Structure 1
């Protein structure tokens, strides 16, 4: 099986390396890294550059109070599970990528989808620490999604199935790293439903009034 052919933007990888991404985006990035050797190699390079920059900084001595506060922060409770380290995908095809399990569960077979339109099902992660919207979509084969753009940034990872849009073909493991300038209308491939996970920091912008009415109800 060939690896993904559509990869993370370099700026996204640098943000992930620096720990600067919202948890929702970091979960999608980490899930792609489980599947993509190319992006894992680029992440290692970004980590090395970041480490070198830190080494070149002149540190200031910490007071005893500051050291204690920093130690307590390291040893205290985490507000959210950190993204999993890049790893090879497990053999069981029913398992979700490791970084998604805290938000959606372990297995595709146990996901509790909500129907939101003909052939379209949604599952939204609810947690205040995500820092952005995180959701999974399952779309029936051969389905044309509404034409839309994005209010700001959206990162989508294809987990199963595939779709085509103005940017080309996206299959399992591929990511669409999009900004507000991209308008597209994905069309899912024949065969199996397309399942993807997406993180976004602003609502979608739909062109048709029917889609906009659906958006108002579903908060997409």
Structure 2
């Protein structure tokens, strides 16, 4: 599993600083479990953050300026993969959810208990998240999610299947790190349902009147 869509730098900085809502931190942790590139970026952010904290500022630097300085340093830090000798391939259990999701959804895909919210769409909401909304979504192949933007931020990681939208093709391991400036319409690809884990901090903004009418029922 080699992701092609990665975490935004601001998300990496927020995770390193422990400033992300709980729901978003769970999705980040799930992605980090399979993405060496983003693990390296988090390591860089940890190191940069430590250096900034240790720096003797003249007076107290406002938190916003410190965050911008950290983002600038992270953006200018080249991602270099250190050489490691080849390791034996890991045996991956295709039925296992990422470990970061276990406290919220259980350990195995086969044990999930889905709730139908629309034709071809099923959902499981995590009840034990204190900050933000965390959910699993299963969407049948060939389905089009209504055109929408976001009232806040959304972080989605693909677990199985894939979808296509104006931002590209998203397959297992990829993350869509979106904010309120993004409007898109994901379409799931043939071959099997698309299963993803998603974190949001505000309801979606659907453009069609029918989707807006149904939104209180599906609670997205």
Same fold (TM over 0.5): yes
Q: Which residue of 1 aligns with 2:7?
A: 8
In the superposition, the TM-score normalised over structure 1's length comes to 0.82
CA deviations over 1:55-85 (Å, ceiling 9, x no partner): 3359xxxxxxxxxxxxxxxxxxxxxxxxxxx
Determine if contact 1:153/1:178 at 8 Å carries over to the other structure. yes
The CA distance in 2 between the partners of 1:172 and 1:146, in whole Å, is 22
Deviation at 1:96, TM superposition (A): 0.7
Q: CA RMSD in A?
A: 1.6
Q: Which runs of 5+ in 1 are unaligned?
A: 59-87
The CA distance in 2 between the partners of 1:96 and 1:206, in whole Å, is 30
Does residue 1:40 correspond to 2:56, yes or no? no
Q: Which residue of 2 aligns with 1:110?
A: 111
CA deviations over 1:108-164 (Å, ceiling 9, x no partner): 1011100111111011111252x1011110011111111111001000100110000
Q: Which residue of 2 aligns with 1:21?
A: 20
Q: Which residue of 1 aligns with 2:219?
A: 219
Does residue 1:137 correspond to 2:134, yes or no? no
Q: Which residue of 2 aligns with 1:101?
A: 102
Q: Which runs of 5+ in 2 are unaligned?
A: 58-88
The CA distance in 1 between the partners of 2:115 and 2:7, in whole Å, is 29
Does residue 1:152 correspond to 2:152, yes or no? yes
The CA distance in 1 between the partners of 2:206 and 2:149, in whole Å, is 7
In the superposition, the TM-score normalised over structure 2's length comes to 0.82
The CA distance in 1 between the partners of 2:103 and 2:54, in whole Å, is 34
For these two proteins, the number of residue pairs brought into alignment is: 189
